[in-house]
Amino acid sequence: MNLFHHGLLRFQQFFTQPIPVAPLGIFRLLIAGFVLLQAALWYPDWEAFVGSEGWVQWEISKAFNHSWHVHLQDVYVLLRPWGINDGQFIYLFFVVYVVSATGLLLGILTRFWAICTWACHYVLMSSLPTYVYGVDIFLHISLFYLMVMPAAKAFSLDAYWGWVNSAPDWASTLAIRVLQIHLCLAYFSAGYEKMLYTNWWEGDVLWRAVIQPDFRQFGVYWLSEVPWLVMLLSWFTMFIETFYFIGMWVPRLRVFWLLAMIGLHVGIGLFLGLYLFGLIMILMSVSAFGYDAWQDVKAWGKQEKPRAVIA
């Protein structure tokens, strides 16, 4: 019975015992910065992306949506009585999106700007269904977390000016744990599912990905002469993803696992051209486990035992 109560106490402490709030601030800074980077990349073709007569006209993109989705056209209808044409509207929307992300980055009225950024991104996802893929989904998840998490506790003007209590508490611990567990489940699901297919064990999926025209970035046909290398890279991918939920919790493994995960996503960006997807996944892992990994590195430098998950 004592063992049961001890285990229950440890479980409760894992989610409620105050821990440093720095990961929340890092998460907010990295995700808000990513939003601004993505917006800057979009801007040269903004009208072509989201304009009423762009690459995918509003009538077509709206037809792909469910009736409960909020499309750019729905927002425009609300503002049209003010004499704004559709061309002016899409750039006004862009300004609101950028201002919201900037407010989130600075951490001033953090929750308000987090809600605004999430809402703008939701409208964009609903308006561009043909362009939505993994990067948009994980960014949207991150923005949702920032709406409900106490993300202003660290590295924010709200904390600097005393508008929020920056002291660690159970809510900040719970927020960090939810992000960490979410990533563990996501990677385990991705890795385990890959293991169910023979094509992944043989390296065939990886080979086809790097040579097909839609993704090919370099002439890597020479890999056909070293099939064992493609197979090893495929095994590495499955291993790192599936056992992420273990490697990230073991102090003496965490640094190497994080570096391996960063290397994996850098490879995805370089060889498949999925730069933004690779970047958002790196930023999420760094946000969730980067602070703990850095504490491990500092502990090694001091020749101390790395800090455990629960003090």
Amino acid at 236: F
Please determine, for residue 118, whether its predicted confidence score (pLDDT) is greater than 90.
yes
Instruction: Give the confidence band of 1 by pLDDT, cuts at 50, 70, 90.
Output: low
At 255 the pLDDT is 96
Characterise 51 by phi-psi region: left (phi > 0), alpha (psi -120 to 50), beta (else).
beta
pLDDT bucket at 5, cuts 50 / 70 / 90: confident
List, as one string, the DSSP characters of the chain.
-HHHHHHHHHHHHHHHS---SHHHHHHHHHHHHHHHHHHHHHGGGHHHHHSTTSSS-HHHHHHTS-TTS--HHHHHHHHGGGT--HHHHHHHHHHHHHHHHHHHHHTSSHHHHHHHHHHHHHHHHHH-TTT--HHHHHHHHHHHHHHHS-GGGSSSHHHHTTSS--S--HHHHHHHHHHHHHHHHHHHHHHHHHHT-HHHHTTHHHHHHHHSTTT--S--GGGGG-HHHHHHHHHHHHHHHHTHHHHTTSHHHHHHHHHHHHHHHHHHHHHHS-HHHHHHHHHHHHHHHHHHHHHHHHHHHTT-PPPPS--
pLDDT for the residue 40? 97
Q: How far apart are CA 231 and CA 220, in angstroms?
A: 15
- Please give the backbone phi and psi of residue 56, each rounded to the nearest 5 degrees, phi first: -125, 105
Q: What is the mean pLDDT of the chain?
A: 92
Q: Cα–Cα distance between 46 and 179 in angstroms, integer?
A: 31
- Kindly indicate the confidence band of residue 62, based on its pLDDT and cuts at 50, 70 and 90: confident
pTM exceeding 0.75: yes
* pLDDT of 304 over the 70 cut: no
